[in-house]
Structure 1
Amino acid sequence: MVATSISNRDSGDKAQSETLETSPDIEKGAGHNVHGAAGKGFIATDNHGESLVLFDPEAERKLRKKLDFYIVPTVSILYLFCFIDRANIGNARLAGFETDLGLTGDGYNAVLSIFYISYIIFEIPSNLACKWIGPGWFLPAISLGFGISSLGTAFVHDSASASGVRFLLGIFEAGMMPGISYYLSRWYRRSELTFRLSLFIVMAPLAGAFGGLLASGILTLDHFGSLHSWRMIFGIEGIITIGLSLIAFFTLTDRPETARWLSQEEKDLAIARVKSERMAQTSVLDTFDKKKLWLGIWNPIVLSTAFIFLLNNITVQGLSFFTPTIVGTIYPDKTTIEKQLYTVPPYVLGAVFVVSLSLASWRFDRRAIFIVATAPLTMLGYILFLASHDPHVRYAAAFLTAISCFALGPLANAQASAVVVSDSSRSIAIGTNVMFGNIGGLIATWSYLPWDAPDYKIGNGLNLAAASLILVVATIQVLWMKWDNKRRDAKDVDAELQHFSQVEIESLEWKHPGFRWRA
């Protein structure tokens, strides 16, 4: 038995379904089994957001295990090479990229910035396109695009061509993080989402580790076809990405209804359990609605979380692009390959911390309090960078920053997903969050300037300030949510809703009087 019914009303009657779609008392007819709850025209929550369906924990566990096996590995591998194709320019810099292209002064920083201009502009449009086209087609398509762009970087010969290819790379990569986050929200409950997001976002620090190992291995080759030195890094990694994206067209399932590897009972369960957390929604995948899209952006927690993510990405993207450079200043006498290998351990430990913190978030169904917890370690790391010239202390500081800052990625995206209700709002809320984050990435490209070497006081000071501000904003956010929940508790939900039609109730989003924030 997958679930038990709270109401005896027949959920399969077509006429009843049509009535429920327009009735303000729709929740009275929504207490049905999993099959009924999965159907369009029925809601699966009461006016207080509580599920009207009782789910079998064992059936959920089996389904979750199946989703983890079929869904997460493909998107994780795609994101791994998405991040490698973005950050490998840092490894190429150590191998002569800057010198060969004649980039002097802040020329390298300028090439990095071009990527973020297109990345920011196309963030929200990409996620709306992802909803419209369907993630099962959209994500492999843009992966193919950034794989080709990475391969093209192997053949650039001046700053103009390098900037052009990086601009294209930004267009294609813009949809990956928000697209995958939105895609996973189609399959997982709110509490489960943070951990699953961590399983693909952890690829960011792993990309730093694996990218360093891969780059050092590639550089041991004499040539790859007509490519030599740093050009081999872009060529080989681009070809790998292209191959993976072509495979993904066949392995990535768009939504539960089209999953050939799920039985009908499992499809219904997958839909119903997600729907049971979406207050007043009659379907999981709704059509575009202007009001829902607006409320997906104009949400105080979405906007404050997006600002936190902006601050966090100053550090995350700064580490991605400049860790090889920073390690090079700490150990100037090491060979290029040794410097590449020194970048690996901080990222590995960072990856472990990402998964561990996200697992705790899943168990407690909390995100904001964990966001608060990440800031102090990042602050300590940059204090050590600024206060000490000892190579061992500064290398230890790299570990502290890596283990804390990367963990905020899945937490922030899960929070943006958790504080909206409908699918339309979720698509644009996640897109907004990542767009703000990439503004932080643009700032990061100018945080470590050549004339500020070797101590990089401006870059390290900027990151210390960003982490400190995260602590302040995240703490205020938690306190505000608790205050607003108390204010909402004083309202009579049924009385507040009595003059609304079902369509109007469905469009209330987080303004629904029964909605509560979760810190």
Structure 2
Amino acid sequence: MPQTKQAFDVVHLEDPSDSGVQAVKGAKNTLTEPLDAAAEARLRRKIDLYTVPTVAILYLCCFIDRTNIGNARLAGFEKDLKLKGYDYNIVLSIFYVSYILFEIPSNMACKLIGPGWYLPTLAVGFGIATVGFAFVRDIGAACGVRFLLGALEAGILPGVAYYMSRWYRRSELVFRLCLYIVMGPLAGAFGGLLASAILSLDHFGSTKRWEMIFAIEGIITIGLALISFFTLTDRPETANWLTAEEKQLAVNRVLSERVGSTELLDKVDSRKTLRGIFNPVVLSTAMVLLLINITVQGLAFFLPTIVRAIYPHKTLVQQQLLTVPPYIFGSVFVLCLCYTSWRMDRRNIFMTIGATVVIPGYIIFLATSNSTARYAATFIVAAGSFSFGALTQAQSSANVVSDTARSAAIGTTVMLGNVGGLVSTWSFLPFDGPNYRIGNGLNLAANATIFILTIFLGIWMRADNRKRESKEQIAQSSLEQYDNKQIQDLDWKHPSFRWRS
């Protein structure tokens, strides 16, 4: 990576272990000394090693515990709970009700408490809820536990994205988000393999068949979550694996990109919170995530059902195993796409590309009943759709300034995005099988809308940046009447701010 052209007054940590907010000297990041590119590269590799594995494992557990109900469905979950008609869809939907309600409050709580404690606590909680699901016996109990699971998992996806934004530059963030979000498709693959292995057991304690899936996977989650209390470092200032100089550089390099900001970790502020929520790029990006989640979450919940419809004569274990290859293929494609996004420092264009890849998959689903072609379409859909979690959160993070606004922006993106998850639970309905024309048509329309929306968003950002440039000199002179607090509260309305596409 070339040495950054932007320089600024360096943060000097009087005490490397100080947990307080560290400030930059002056709100405008005036030129003094550039950052060392080689030192940044060494530091980035070290941060990768110490932060990414823990959050990736937590998200792997989160996604498995959310979607293992799809594997349980094949193993008799519906029959044992006497679910009929739309009962299964209701059980899926109730998860998203609490997931959406708790999204923003949970991410603000993550900022107040600190990700190092908050995220592992949530993981222990949803691990316990997963174990509890093994003992539900009717739809009422199932809905109650799924509601609790949604409330606990609500803070993981935006919380991890917010946590990572404390460590990485805007251009770097998308690939690091990808490294943990790719655990979603891998969880689909691993979940199918794990479910197959679990179902080969006669029993686990008092649990049998589908009950074992929830009991065993929930216990694994609890164990890994307890370990994460010791491995998840809250922020650069508290990282005992960084030297004093590395802590200083870690803070400075992130702060160097925050126009008008005088502190890396600010206090929660209502004005900045609203700036994060009512940001035009954030809201547009959230709409993209809403639309793609109809596809991503629908695939997570219904891929076993789709595979069963394609290959109805195969055994239960064979059907479970056939859900694995599309996830593996999608994971490799996502890593390549997000790596390119990082190196080009672009996100919006890759959302357009993702939608372009998905659209042919649903055309195949609608156009043919050939089993081989329809199974191939699951690979295409997985490849194009799984990158959006990283791209959308990185896009929202890149287009705000302060830490508070970033927490609110990411929370808003994921909250609105999961409205799409709620829609997905009703996209594949019993009467629509086995070809599911309504579900496939809905997903085709969603991805076509993403294609159009991202093109228009890219055009708007470039046009607004040109407008900002033409008015910047006049706008800058008006800042002289503002104090530092007022300048910070401007966030993305600061005249020097530019949209990052």
TM superposition score category, shorter chain reference: over 0.9
Task: Give the distance between the partners of 1:237 and 1:477, measured in 2 at CA.
Answer: 41
8 Å contact from structure 1 (residues 5, 33) kept in 2: no
Distance 1:484 1:152 in 2: 51
Counterpart for residue 465 of structure 1: 445
Is 2:22 the partner of 1:40? yes
Q: Judge conservation of contact 1:35–1:265 (CA < 8 Å) in 2.
A: no
2:294/2:423 contact within 8 Å kept: yes
Match of 1:444 among 412, 424, 434: 424
- The DSSP-based 3-state class of the residue aligned with 2:12 is helix
2:323 to 328, 339, 343: 343
Distance 2:25 2:433 in 1: 59
Counterpart AA for 2:401: V
Residue matched to 1:495 = 477
Q: How much has 1:51 moved relative to structure 2? A: 7.0
Q: Show CA shifts across 1:37-75 (max 9, x none).
A: 99834257847xx87541111111111111111100000
Which residue, out of 211, 219, 227, partners 2:191? 211
Task: Output the amino acid matched with 1:503.
Answer: K
- Indicate the residue corresponding to 2:111 in structure 1: 131
Please list, as runs of the form range in 1=range in 2, the aligned pairs for 1:373-388 lying within 5 A after superposition: 373-388=353-368
Please state whether the residue corresponding to 1:221 is helix, strand or coil: coil
Distance 1:215 1:487, change over 3 A: same
Q: Partners of 1:402 and 1:52 in 2: how far apart? A: 47
Partner of 1:26: none
- Name the CA distance, whole Å, in 2 between partners of 1:169 and 1:346: 26
2:90 equivalent to 1:113 = no
Following the alignment from structure 2 to structure 1, what is the Cα–Cα distance between the partners of residues 5 and 95?
52
Aligned to 2:181: 201
The C-alpha deviation readout for 1:92-112, integer Å capped at 9, x for no partner, is: 000000111000001100000
Q: Are 1:381 and 1:397, in contact at CA under 8 Å, matched by a contact in 2?
A: yes
Contact 1:219 1:229 in 2 (8 A): yes
User: Which residue in the other structure is 1:122 paired with?
Assistant: 102
* Counterpart mapping for 1:59-98 below 5 A: 59-98=39-78
Do the aligned partners of 1:146 and 1:173 also contact (CA within 8 Å) in 2? yes
1:504 matched to 2:486? The reply is: yes
Please report how far the alpha carbon of residue 499 of structure 1 lies from its aligned counterpart in structure 2 after TM superposition. Answer: 2.2
RMSD over aligned CA atoms reads 1.8
| Equivalent in the alignment of 2:495 | 513
Change (3 A) 1:340 1:31: closer
Q: How far apart are residue 498 of structure 1 and its match?
A: 2.4
- Contact kept in structure 1, 2:28 and 2:260, CA below 8 Å: yes
Alignment of 1:421-440 (within 5 A): 421-440=401-420
Aligned letter for 1:504? Q
User: Structure 1's 278 and 52: CA in aligned 2 closer, same or farther, altered over 3 A?
Assistant: farther
The amino acid across from 1:60 in the alignment is E
Q: Which residue of 2 aligns with 1:279?
A: 259
Task: Classify the secondary structure of the residue corresponding to 1:287.
Answer: coil
Q: Is the 8 A contact 1:53 1:276 kept in 2?
A: no
Match of residue 400, structure 1, among 355, 359, 380: 380
Distance in 1 separating the partners of 2:33 and 2:418: 39
Do the aligned residues in 1 keep the contact of 2:330 with 2:379 (CA within 8 Å)?
A: yes
| Alpha-carbon distance in 1 for matches of 2:320, 2:219 | 21
Report the counterpart of residue 266 of structure 1 in structure 2.
246
Instruction: Look up the match of 1:478.
Output: 458
Report SS of the residue matched to 1:55. coil
Amino acid at match of 1:59: A
Residue aligning to 1:222: 202
Q: Is the 8 A contact 1:45 1:276 kept in 2?
A: no
CA displacement, residues 238-261 of structure 1 (integer Å, 9 cap, x when unaligned): 000000111111111111111111
**In the TM superposition, what whole-angstrom CA distance separates every residue of 1:336-362 from its partner, at most 9, and x where no partner exists?**
000000000100011111111111111
CA apart distance, 1:373: 1.0
Give, in angstroms, the shift of residue 127 of structure 1.
0.0
Alignment match, 1:18: none
1:183, CA displacement in angstroms? Answer: 0.2
Please say if residues 375 and 467 of structure 1, whose CA atoms lie closer than 8 Å, have aligned partners that are also in contact: yes
Q: Secondary structure at the match of 1:54?
A: coil
| Alignment map for 1:283-298 (pairs within 5 Å) | 283-298=263-278
Secondary structure in 2 matching 1:280: coil
Residue of structure 1 equivalent to 2:83 = 103
| Amino acid in structure 2 at the alignment position of 1:35 | H
Does residue 236 of structure 2 align to residue 256 of structure 1? yes
Moved more, 506-515 or 488-497: 488-497
Partner of 1:21: none
Q: 1:42 is matched by which residue type in structure 2?
A: V
Number of the residue aligned with 2:128: 148
Q: TM-score under structure 2 normalisation?
A: 0.95
- Distance in 1, Cα, partners of 2:13 & 2:87: 60
Contact 1:199 1:355 in 2 (8 A): yes
Contact 1:420 1:426 in 2 (8 A): yes
1:51 to 1:418, Cα distance in 2 relative to 1, 3 A:
farther
Instruction: Decide whether the 8 Å contact of 1:419 with 1:517 is kept in 2.
Output: yes
Are the aligned partners of 1:291 and 1:507 in contact in 2 as well (CA < 8 Å)?
yes
Distance 1:41 1:184 in 2: 20
- Counterpart of 1:502, as a letter, is N
Structure 2: which 5+ residue stretches go unaligned? none
Aligned partners of 1:4 and 1:211: how far apart in 2? 42
Is structure 2 residue 36 aligned with structure 1 residue 56?
Answer: yes
Distance across 2 between alignment mates of 1:223 and 1:441: 33
Query: Contact conserved, 1:45 with 1:278, CA < 8 A, in 2?
Result: no
Residue 170 of structure 2 is matched in structure 1 by 190
Structure 1 pair 113–4 and aligned structure 2 pair: CA distance change class (3 A): closer
1:454-479 Cα deviation digits (max 9, x unpaired): 01011000000000000111111000
Separation in structure 2 between the aligned mates of residue 466 and residue 73 of structure 1, nearest angstrom: 33
Conserved? CA contact 1:43–1:281, under 8 Å: no
**Secondary structure, in 3 states, of the residue corresponding to 2:481?**
coil
Counterpart-to-counterpart distance in 2, 1:51 and 1:345: 52
Given residue 291 of structure 2, which amino acid in structure 1 is its aligned partner?
L
Cα distance change on mapping 1:353 and 1:53 into 2, 3 Å:
farther
Deviation at 1:33?
4.0
Match of 2:303 in 1: 323
The answer (yes or no) to whether the contact 1:286–1:423 under 8 Å persists in 2 is yes
Take 2:100 and 2:4, find their aligned partners in 1: how far apart are those partners?
46
Cα deviation, residue 288, structure 1: 1.0
The number of residue pairs the alignment matches comes to 492
CA–CA distance in structure 2, aligned partners of residues 131 and 344 of structure 1: 36
- Check conservation: 1:327, 1:342, Cα contact below 8 A: yes
Equivalent residue for 1:314?
Answer: 294
Instruction: Find out whether 1:417 has 2:376 as its counterpart.
Output: no
What code does the residue aligned with 1:399 have? F
Deviation string 1:303-356 (CA, Å, 9 cap, x unpaired) is 000001000100000000000000000000000000000000100011111111
